[in-house]
Amino acid sequence: MIPSIAPTATPRKTALAKFSGHRLLTSPGGLAGAVWLAALVVASLTAPLWLPYKTEDQDFTAVLSGPSAAHWLGADELGRDLLSRIFASAAGTLGTSLITVIVGVALGTILAMTAAGAGDRAEGIISRVTEIMMSLPGTVIILAVIGAVGTNIPLIMAILGVLISAGIYRVMLGQAKSLQSQLYVDAAKVDGVGPLGISLRHVLPGLTNTVVVQSALIFAVGMLIQAGLAFIGFGPPIPQPSWGGMIQGASQHVYDAPWLMVPTGAVLALTVLSANAIGNALGKSPNATASHLPSAAIRRKRTADAAAAVAAAPAVENLPAAGQLSVRGLSVGVDGGTPLVTDVTFDVAPGTVLGLVGESGCGKTMTALSLLGLLPSGVSVADGQILWNGRNLASATEKDLEGIRGRDVALISQEPMRALDPMFTVGYQLTAAIRRLGKAGKAEARAEALSLLEKVGIVDARRILKSYPHQISGGMAQRVAIALALSGKPRLLVADEPTTALDVTVQAEILSLLRSLVKDTGMSVVMVTHDLGVVADICDNVAVMYAGQVVESGRTASILDNPRHPYTLALLAADPHANTAHDMPDRLATIKGQVPQPKDWPAGCRFAARCQFAGSACTTPVPLLPSGSEDGEVRCVKADELAVEGLAWLATEIPTHRVLEIVEKDMA
Amino acid sequence: MSIDTVEREDAEAVLPAPAMLEVKDLVVRYGRGRKAASVPAAVDGVSFTIRPGETVGLVGESGSGKSTIGKAILGLQKVSGGSISFQGSDITHAGSSQRQELGGELRAVFQDPNSSLNPRKTIGVSLAEPLRVRGIPAAEARTRAGDMLERVGLPREAVDRYPSQFSGGQRQRISVARALICEPKLVVCDEAVSALDLSTQAQVLNLLADLRDERGLSYLFIAHDISVVQFLAQRVVVLYRGQVMETGPAAAVTENPKHPFTQALVAASPVPRPAEQAERRRLRESLGVRTAAAVAASAGGCPFSQRCPLATDLCTTERPALRTVGQSDVACHYA
Ligand SMILES: Nc1ncnc2c1ncn2[C@@H]1O[C@H](COP(=O)(O)OP(=O)(O)OP(=O)(O)O)[C@@H](O)[C@H]1O
Ligand code: SF4
Ligand code: SF4
Ligand SMILES: [Mg+2]
């Protein structure tokens, strides 16, 4: 996640502009299709201006002839020019297909929105009805209609639309339901917005994309069915030209003049293909894959670039001991642009846990991901060293990193479900990982998976192995994710907010589990968290990060009990867990403003704009200096002063006169 | 299910000042027909009252039915049994028109700052929606939206921006603004600060506290974090599997929990003081509460019996009723 905190200018776009534009233009098929359809419509509407013949002009010398100079595409059984007839009638044919689209898509969408909004019972009824509609023999119904009212093409196409709407309903229903379950829909309901308002204002806009895609596809279906009907003799009445009529005419001469079918058929086929191509182009969502992680190819290229940059740095002296992680002067930045993390230095000794704390947007996750070479695309290590087991991971190639990732260094993330593929059972994924990393046989891997699950405290491991991710709870999923991370027997575990999404009761169990794993296996952990309670519970050392820098680091006990940096003071004062019910203040301390965006970092102390103690000395860059308490370090010019005077971060008040003004204005 | 609500309403009319909100024997089942009967009720006989100006905290683990209770109160979830009355009038099965009348007085702030605002609408449009529903002209609604944004500490100009242009904390303040824009009496806050960073969480908590003091609001404050609840709430209701385990003054419940589940919950909430946290951890481990594995509640017994270190045969056969222990009401045979 690239920190994005303050409002940024995003160009405004209407829902319509969002999907059509680039997706259509970037797909060659879709673009060609759109060009063909547009040309066809324009050519057809302007036909009287440029066509060589009128549609009913008869040239008896050319009856049933093939292409010739006079008739480029030949002429039909009455000697009428095919080219002229095809183009003149294009608009009409497309128009009648459009009837199917409009009726089918509109009805299907309305049904889906109604079913999604009106509750289970209505959904049940509508679904039953559409199932019946789908099971009706469409052809028979259409033929019956033709028998009753003749070949009234618009009516037939409309009825076809009704029949097709059932299928569209099915496609739309899931999406409409998921839009209905958004919290903003709940919020609107609480406002008293009626079901119709909800559907129109909050659900329909979200369906636009699907509506457009379905329209393109149904359009093609409509044309095909129209042609099919014509082929079996139920085309439109003869005099007015239409593609259906021409196909009908040609079908009577399949044996004596087979050419007659070719031009109309080809144009029809092209048009159907175009509509399908447009549908496919619009339907492809460009960012459907996980966009937060770069593709291996991009990473490979990037690490090569970064390796070149970092190789210029001074050679590594005094390589740390095995199992020791030493991060030295690490800087991470957008390629060729803003730094996101600057000059981060910390050490993690084997068998210890380091906490990286701070608010979101302070660079914790970027720092953690850089340890695994998993920075998002467009972001890379700009400077510094990540020393692990005698090598500098900052300049390692992607291939080297692939060998380390998952084996020596493993990751668990905040969303355990994200580590698990919903399509496969827990057992399958776990054994696959074990086999990939350890080259074990199938049975061996299975036994290993079972023992891993037991190791992470899962009681009924056998049942869990057979379960799919959605069948297990969040706490269970995090245990499985930890088991997955442990499958490579890592010596360093990078845990990015591993318990944030869990209940406190489950969090406590997971933390106990991690603690015992550290004790038993001697692995070390880098734990990213925003929860100071979690830090107090499990971390031996802590580095407090603010705006891409470490502002204070040292032993957990000395930092939390005796913070030296104003930001740490402030975080503790803002934490309701730091107080019991009796000493709970009326207001918690806050930090005014918010974490600045990387491009807005000042040259001096980055916390200055929010700091209660800021003064003129704070406008020059502040180095990280020993804090005097154990081996701690702090980045604040007033650290000593604050320590001596024992200053506390105060809860700031909102000026109430402002509040009253606004309330009065409201009442007026 | 509403046959006896009429009587109950009559009985309530005798009471001097009606409660802001009264929830009685609330039962909510998900699903319909046979399916509903086969799964345990998501909310199973929950009762509590919120007095004017009071904040009641609802805590419990994930899936304990907290949100479901909030949704039932807001009319977003059908109620299977029991009653809910707001300012003395029964809203258990209120239709959307009755809801619309009180929509201004009963409002909500939801958890996820990412999905509680429609990403396709500007902040101004989202904020104005509740006012526009009540027929307030667009220009006035826009002005009030700007005022309200300033009140929650954001610039007026934010009305023309989209939710994606704000941070999580800012979005949550916008959600608070949206809830408070039509002068509500009761606000249901479902995990309103859970997704926020410490300093932003503190800002929103302070904001909620300030607005309560200014406007005499009542809150139903739903959260899984008992320390957060304890900051805002005067009274706390502890839920487990859709049932109330313990309820009482916030200080009593959090500092002197009587129910084994509440004890486990409080002990599991970590404090940022290493020595004290180590102590709590030892306490938690000594409680011997079994892990939250997916075990089915024994029908009829105490819902916590599968995990409770004190459970006896009595606990697995007889559901304990709430009874007063000290300052709290506790549903445990041995509290
Ligand atoms: N729409 C639904 N359909 C079926 N079951 C549901 C639905 N929503 C919730 N449930 C179930 O009802 C129970 C109570 O859920 P609820 O969302 O009220 O819990 P919660 O206490 O708010 O949990 P959390 O802390 O995770 O938000 C759970 O067992 C849940 O799985
Ligand atoms: S250097 Fe100055 S502004 Fe920065 S934290 Fe210290 S006192 Fe505050
Ligand atoms: S009733 Fe029994 S099982 Fe339930 S909480 Fe009390 S002691 Fe535990
Ligand atoms: Mg919930």
List pLDDT tens digits, range B124-166: 999 998 888 888 999 999 999 998 888 887 888 889 999 888 8
Q: Is any Cβ of chain A less than 8 angstroms from the Cβ of B156? A: no
The rounded Å distance from CA B222 to ligand 4 centre is 8
How many Cβ atoms from other residues are within 10 Å of residue A240's Cβ?
13
For residues A608-629, average pLDDT: 88
Q: Is residue B311 within 6 Å of ligand 3 at its C-beta?
A: yes
In angstroms, rounded to a whole number, what is the distance separating the alpha carbons of residues A317 and A300? Answer: 26
Query: Among residues 62-101 of chain B, which lie with CB inside 8 Å of chain A?
Result: 62-63, 71, 74-76, 78, 96, 99-101
Confidence of residue A658 (pLDDT cuts 50, 70, 90): very low
Give residue B299's pLDDT: 65
Give the pLDDT confidence score for residue A627 in this predicted structure. Answer: 82
pLDDT score of A666: 39
- Is the pLDDT at B249 greater than 50, yes or no? yes
Q: How far apart are CA B242 and CA A362, in angstroms?
A: 39
Measured CA to CA, the distance from residue A243 to residue A250 in angstroms comes to 10
Burial pattern B143-154, b for ≥16 Cβ within 10 A else e, equals bbbbbbbbbbbb
Q: Which residue among B39, B67, B189, B243 has the greatest number of ligand 1 atoms within 8 angstroms of its CB, and so is best to mutate?
A: B67
Q: Domain count for chain B, please give it.
A: 1
Pick among A19, A184, A207, A652 to test the B interface (most B CBs inside 10 A): A184
B118 in A contact zone (CB under 8 Å): yes
- Long-range pairs for A55-58 at CB < 8 Å and ≥24 separation? A55/A80, A55/A84, A55/A85, A55/A88, A55/A89, A55/A241, A56/A80, A56/A239, A57/A81, A57/A84
Instruction: Determine the pLDDT at residue B273.
Output: 92
Query: From the CA of A539, how many Å to the nearest CA of chain B?
Result: 9
What is the model's pLDDT at position A353? 97
Query: Which ranges in A46-152 belong to alpha helices (H)?
Result: 47-50, 82-117, 120-135, 138-149
Given a cut of 80, is residue A110 above it in pLDDT?
yes
Q: How far is CA A540 from the centre of its chain?
A: 36
**A503 Cα: distance to centroid of ligand 3 (angstroms):** 21
Lowest mean pLDDT among A92-96, A472-476, B320-324: A472-476
In sequence order, what are the residues at sequence separation of 6 or more whose Cβ sits closer than 8 angstroms to the Cβ of residue A287? none
Q: Is B127 within a domain?
A: no
Can you tell me the mean pLDDT for A397-408? 84
pLDDT digits over A260-315, tens only? 888 888 888 888 888 888 888 877 644 333 333 344 444 445 445 555 554 444 44
Please give the Cα distance from A285 to B280 (Å, whole number).
50
A202: closest chain B residue by CA: B118
Among candidate residues A61, A90, A64, the one with its CA nearest the CA of residue A75: A64
Which has the closest alpha carbon to A338: A13, A598, A576, A512? A598
Q: How far is the CA of A88 from the centre of ligand 4 (A)?
A: 61
Searching chain B, which residue's CA lies closest to the CA of residue A474? Answer: B62
Least CB–CB distance from A584: residue in B100, B118, B230: B230
Contacts 24+ apart (CB under 8 A), A34-38: A34/A274, A34/A278, A36/A270, A36/A271, A36/A274, A37/A94, A37/A271, A37/A274, A37/A275, A37/A278
Contact between B120 and A15 using a beta-carbon 8 Å cutoff: yes
- Cα distances (Å, whole numbers) of residue A23 to A199, A283, A442, A651, B75: 26, 9, 44, 51, 41
**Per residue in B292-329, is it b (16+ CB within 10 Å) or e — as a string?**
bbeeebeeebbbbbbbbebbeeebbeebbebeebeebb
At residue A344, the 3 state secondary structure works out as: strand
Query: Which atom of ligand 3 has the smallest separation from the CA of B259?
Result: 5
Residues 6+ apart with CB under 8 A from A503: A475, B61, B62, B224, B292
Structural domain contains residue B168: no
DSSP state of B299: T
Burial zone of A471 (CB within 10 Å; 0-12 exposed, 13-18 middle, 19+ buried): middle
CB contact under 8 A, B197 and A578: no
Distance from CA of B110 to the nearest CA of A (A): 7
Name beta bridge partners: B220.
Answer: B56, B188
Distance, in Å, from the CA atom of B57 to the CA atom of B224, rounded to the nearest integer, reads 10
Euclidean distance between CA atoms B106 and B20, whole angstroms: 10
Q: Which residues of A touch B265 (CB under 8 A)?
A: 504-505
d(CA B9, CA B100): 21
What average pLDDT score do residues B259-280 get? 93
Pairing verdict, β B89-90 and B81-86:
antiparallel
B158/A186 Cβ within 8 A:
no
Tokens of residue A554, six digits: 């040292």
β-strand partners of A357? A529, A544
Distance from C-alpha of A369 to C-alpha of A375, rounded to nearest angstrom: 5
Gap from A517 CA to chain B (nearest CA, Å): 17
The C-alpha atoms of residue A134 and residue B224 are separated, in whole angstroms, by: 46
Q: If you take atom 1 of ligand 2, which residue's CA is the nearest one?
A: A636
Mean pLDDT within A222-228: 83
Q: Quick check: CB of B290 below 6 Å from ligand 1?
A: no
Segment among A68-77, A282-291, B203-212, B301-310 with least mean pLDDT: A282-291
Lowest mean pLDDT among A14-23, A600-609, A658-667, B77-86: A658-667
CB contact under 8 A, A581 and B228: no
Interface of B with A in 296-335 (CB under 8 A): none
Map tokens 């309701």 to a residue.
Answer: A576
B contact residues 223-242, partner A, Cβ 8 Å cutoff: 224-228, 230-231
Contact B264, B287 (CB under 8 A): yes
- What is the distance between the alpha carbons of residues A467 and A425, in angstroms, rounded to a whole number? 5
Rounded Cα distance, B231 and B198, in Å: 14
Contact A360, A348 (CB under 8 A): no
Provide the phi-psi class of B63: left if phi over 0, else alpha when psi is between -120 and 50, else beta: left
Residues 6+ apart with CB under 8 A from A230: A236, A242, A243, A244, A245, A246, A247, A248, A251
Region A122-136: mean pLDDT is: 88
Residue A19 is predicted with a pLDDT of 47
**Higher pLDDT pick, B161 / A423:** B161
Which pLDDT band holds residue A318 (cuts at 50, 70, 90)?
Answer: low
Q: Which atom of ligand 3 is nearest to the CA of B310?
A: 7
* Number of helices (H), then strands (E), in chain A: 26, 12
Q: Do A534 and B270 touch (CB under 8 A)?
A: yes
Alpha helix segments (H runs only) across A584-651:
639-645
A464-509 pLDDT per residue, tens: 899 888 888 777 888 888 888 888 889 999 999 888 877 888 889 8
CB pair distance less than 8 Å for B147 and A193: no
CATH of the domain at B69: 3.40.50.300
Nearest-angstrom CA–CA distance, B230 and B202: 13
Instruction: Say if residue B10's pLDDT is above 50.
Output: no
| Start-to-end C-alpha separation, chain B | 32
Domain that holds residue B205: 11-105+182-257
* Predicted TM-score (pTM) of this structure: 0.76
Token pair listed for A142: 């259409």
The answer to whether residue A316 scores a pLDDT higher than 70 is no
* Mean pLDDT, chain A, whole residue set: 81
Tokens standing for residue A251:
């079908």
Q: How far is the CA of A411 from the centre of ligand 1 (A)?
A: 29
- Has residue A10 got a pLDDT over 70? no
Decide if A577 and B269 are in contact by the 8 Å CB cutoff.
yes
Highest mean pLDDT among A2-16, A503-517, A565-579, B236-250: B236-250
Span from the CA of A456 to the centroid of ligand 3 (angstroms): 27
| Residue B204 counted as domain residue | yes
Shortest CA gap B308–chain A (Å): 13
Residue B41 distance to chain A (closest CA, Å):
18
What are the helix (H) ranges across A495-547?
504-521, 532-538
DSSP labels for B110-161? -S-TTTSS-TTS-HHHHHHHHHHHTT--HHHHHHHHHHHHHHTT--GGGGGS
Least confident of A336-345, A439-448, A536-545: A439-448
Distance from CA of A499 to the nearest CA of B (A): 12
Q: What percent of chain A has pLDDT over 70?
A: 87
* pLDDT recorded at residue B145: 93
Helix axes A474-486, A426-438, angle to 10 degrees: 20
Does the CB atom of residue B77 touch ligand 1 within 6 A? no
Lowest mean pLDDT among A12-21, A479-488, B123-132, B303-312: A12-21
A500-514 pLDDT tens trace: 877 888 889 889 989
Q: How far is the CA of B69 from the centre of ligand 1 (A)?
A: 10
- φ, ψ of residue B55 to 5 degrees: the values are -115, 125
Average pLDDT, chain B: 86
B30 — contact with chain A (CB < 8 Å)? no
Distance CA A453, CA A431 (A): 11
- Please list every residue in chain A whose beta carbon sits closer than 8 Å to the beta carbon of residue B269: 504, 533, 577
- Give the total residue count for chain A: 668
Q: How many CB atoms lie within 10 A of CB A410?
A: 25
Task: Flag whether B89 is in a domain.
Answer: yes
Ligand 3 atom with the shortest distance to the CA of B260 = 5
Q: Does domain A91-240 have CATH number 1.10.3720.10?
A: yes
Q: ∠ CA A502-A506-A511 to the nearest 5 degrees?
A: 100
| pLDDT category of residue A352 using cuts at 50, 70 and 90 | very high
The percent of residues above 90 in pLDDT, for chain A, comes to: 21
pLDDT at B186 over 90: yes
Query: If you measure CA to CA, which chain A residue comes closest to B267?
Result: A505
Q: Ligand 3: which residue has its CA nearest to atom 6?
A: B332
Task: Answer whether residue B211 is part of any domain.
Answer: yes
A504 vs B270: CB contact, 8 Å cut-off? yes
Instruction: Tell me the CB-side half-sphere exposure of residue A134, using CA atoms within 13 A.
Output: 13
C-alpha of residue B63 to centroid of ligand 1, in Å: 5
Ligand minimally distant from the alpha carbon of residue B313 = 3
| Average pLDDT for A453-457 | 82
Residue A654 to residue B210, Cβ atoms within 8 A: yes
Smallest CA-to-CA distance from B167 within A93, A612, A248, A361 is with A361
Residue B235 token pair: 């009274």
Q: What average pLDDT does the segment A52-56 reach?
A: 75
Check residue B17 and give its pLDDT.
63
More confident residue, B302 or A649: B302
Cα A574 from Cα A41, distance rounded (Å)? 65
Least confident span in A166-170, A295-299, A609-613, B307-311: A295-299
Q: What is the pLDDT of residue B1?
A: 41
CB–CB contact A535 B272 (8 Å): yes
Token pair belonging to A276? 């399908």
* Ligand 4 centroid from CA A331, angstroms: 39
Nearest CA among A412, A465, A410, A406 for reference residue A437: A406
Cα–Cα distance for residue pair A91/A242, rounded to 1 Å: 9
Does residue B220 lie in a domain region? Answer: yes
A503 vs B contacts (CB less than 8 Å): 61-62, 224, 292
> What 8-state DSSP symbol labels residue B322?
P
- How far is ligand 3, taken at its centre, from the CA of residue B292, in Å? 15
Q: Kindly state whether B198 is in contact with chain A, defined as any CB-CB distance less than 8 angstroms.
A: yes
> Which of A458, A577, A656 faces B271 most closely, judged by CB atoms?
A577
Nearest CB to A665; choose among B100, B147, B158? B147
> Is the pLDDT reported for residue A6 higher than 80?
no
A-B C-beta contacts closer than 8 Å: 246
Q: Do A536 and B230 touch (CB under 8 A)?
A: no
